[in-house]
């Protein structure tokens, strides 16, 4: 496992280094130069093709896994992931692929996983629903496509600050790898280590300096792999509760659900209408009050990066309990509910300026 992690990390790290070093050759296509958009919180144009290092790191790690385990199974997993990555990566280069085509691409990727790998949701540990899923394969396929596509899209939504989605993904893959170890699913655990190495190699350049962004290609690839590995873990190991992966990803998933509710019913806007009211954006604007008056790029980048650890802590409140109770469905269900209530409570406190003082990071630069 260490060999797989290191190879993936080196491949990702090296690719990231080359992309940053020779950014002037591809900046015309790859840089995110819009620093004034409603959902933009970086100071200078930055390459947004960090999905490429992650993908190459994953390929390297999975190739070694396939060689060590004498299996082509992981190569089929890479083939399944390609549509999700490709749609996002093309958007990173052209800025012309909307959210719907990217979401549809993840549905296609999930369908490939269903037929090539048997990666289907056949149980939720809810008797009536499990019966229906067992009798109607197309219903299982539909649920799998929606679940996998939803998680991929959710990870893209929280990909707003340096290190945020990447480190949350590291937490999740560590949890999945732990459960893989518990059930002795070695091949699936090797995929987790390949993803860990690929993400860590990228994060070296992304956090805290923000030298490269994951972009839609990276976010959709990470989200798809989280969802697909989770589906495979549950499908291949009856001892694992299907609520284990749900609790692991409840932060980005509920962020997405709450955003849909907020836009549709509270604001009366289209679901896809962009705004700056996600939880991570509220944390940035009302809790990370660091050098607020400064216009220097280094101060803006520093404030950007200081936002992510708040959300890392929030994500850990779901991932750690999920690891502890990975085979106890009713406890996991209760923990999902508790996390949702805690999220809503935190969001309400921030909106109404009732955040405890000890949670607010201050340094005023208005006098400069």
The predicted-structure confidence for 70-93, as pLDDT tens digits, reads as follows 778 899 999 999 999 999 999 999
**237 has binding-site annotation:** no
Sign of the Cα pseudo-torsion (45, 10, 217, 180, in order): negative
| Percent of the chain clearing pLDDT 70 (strictly above) | 95
Q: Is the pLDDT of residue 36 over 80?
A: no
pLDDT reported for residue 205: 95
Digit-coded pLDDT (tens) for 143-161: 999 999 999 999 999 998 9
213: three-class secondary structure by DSSP: coil
Q: Is the pLDDT of residue 45 over 70?
A: yes
DSSP state of 98: -
Q: Among residues 227, 219, 216, which one has the least CA distance to residue 80?
A: 227
Q: Among residues 239, 225, 128, which one has the least CA distance to residue 183?
A: 239
Q: Helices marked H in the chain — which ranges?
A: 2-21, 23-30, 51-68, 73-94, 99-117, 127-135, 137-157, 164-182, 186-206, 215-236, 243-248, 250-261, 279-286, 297-324, 329-351
Sign of the Cα pseudo-torsion (310, 180, 86, 112, in order): negative
Q: Is the pLDDT of residue 222 over 80?
A: yes
Mean per-residue pLDDT for 99-107? 93
DSSP 228-284: HHHHHHHHH-TTS-THHHHHHTHHHHHHHHHHHHIIIIIS---TT---S-SHHHHHH
Confirm if 278 and 156 have CB atoms less than 8 A apart.
Answer: no
What is the spatial distance between Cα 250 and Cα 267, in angstroms, rounded to a whole number?
24
Confirm if 359 and 288 have CB atoms less than 8 A apart.
Answer: no
Mean per-residue pLDDT for 239-261? 96
Q: Among residues 283, 300, 311, 287, which one has the least CA distance to residue 361?
A: 287
Digit-coded pLDDT (tens) for 161-219: 999 999 999 999 999 999 999 999 999 999 999 999 999 999 999 998 899 999 999 99
Mean per-residue pLDDT for 15-43? 74
Mean pLDDT of the chain: 91
- What pTM value is reported for the model? 0.92
Mean per-residue pLDDT for 269-278? 80
**69 has binding-site annotation:** no
Q: Is the pLDDT of residue 367 over 70?
A: no
- Give residues with Cβ within 8 angstroms of 113, minimum separation 6: 77, 80, 119, 144, 148, 228, 231, 232
């Amino acid at each position: 496992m260490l060999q797989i992690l290191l190879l993936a990390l080196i491949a990702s790290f090296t690719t990231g280094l080359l992309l940053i070093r020779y950014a002037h050759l591809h900046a015309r296509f790859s840089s995110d130069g819009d620093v004034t958009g409603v959902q933009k919180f970086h100071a200078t144009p930055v390459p947004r093709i960090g999905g490429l290092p992650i993908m190459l790191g994953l390929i390297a790690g999975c190739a070694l896994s396939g060689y060590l385990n004498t299996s082509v199974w992981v190569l089929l997993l890479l083939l399944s992931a390609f549509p999700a990555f490709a749609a996002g990566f093309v958007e990173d280069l052209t800025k012309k692929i909307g959210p719907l085509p990217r979401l549809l691409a993840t549905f296609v990727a999930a369908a490939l996983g269903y037929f090539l790998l048997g990666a289907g949701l056949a149980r939720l540990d809810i008797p009536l629903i499990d019966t229906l899923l067992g009798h109607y394969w197309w219903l299982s396929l539909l649920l799998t496509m929606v679940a996998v596509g939803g998680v991929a899209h959710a990870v893209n939504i929280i990909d707003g600050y340096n290190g945020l989605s990447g480190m949350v993904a590291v937490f999740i893959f560590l949890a999945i790898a732990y459960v893989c170890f518990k059930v002795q699913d070695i091949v699936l655990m090797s995929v987790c280590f390949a993803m860990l190495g690929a993400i860590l190699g990228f994060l070296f350049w992304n956090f805290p300096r923000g030298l490269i962004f994951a972009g839609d290609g990276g976010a959709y690839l990470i989200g798809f792999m989280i969802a697909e590995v989770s589906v495979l873990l549950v499908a291949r190991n009856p001892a694992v509760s299907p609520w284990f992966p749900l609790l692991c990803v409840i932060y980005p998933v509920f962020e997405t659900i709450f955003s849909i509710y907020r836009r549709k019913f509270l604001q009366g806007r289209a679901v896809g209408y962009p705004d700056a009211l996600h939880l991570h954006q509220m944390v940035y604007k009302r809790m990370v009050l660091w050098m607020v008056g400064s216009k220097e790029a280094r101060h803006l980048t520093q404030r950007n990066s200081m936002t992510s650890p708040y959300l890392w802590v929030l994500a850990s409140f779901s991932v750690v309990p999920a690891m502890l109770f990975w085979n106890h469905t009713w406890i996991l269900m209760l923990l999902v509910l508790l996390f949702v209530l805690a999220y809503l409570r935190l969001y309400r406190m921030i909106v109404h300026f009732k955040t405890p003082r000890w949670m607010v990071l201050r340094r005023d630069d208005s006098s400069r």
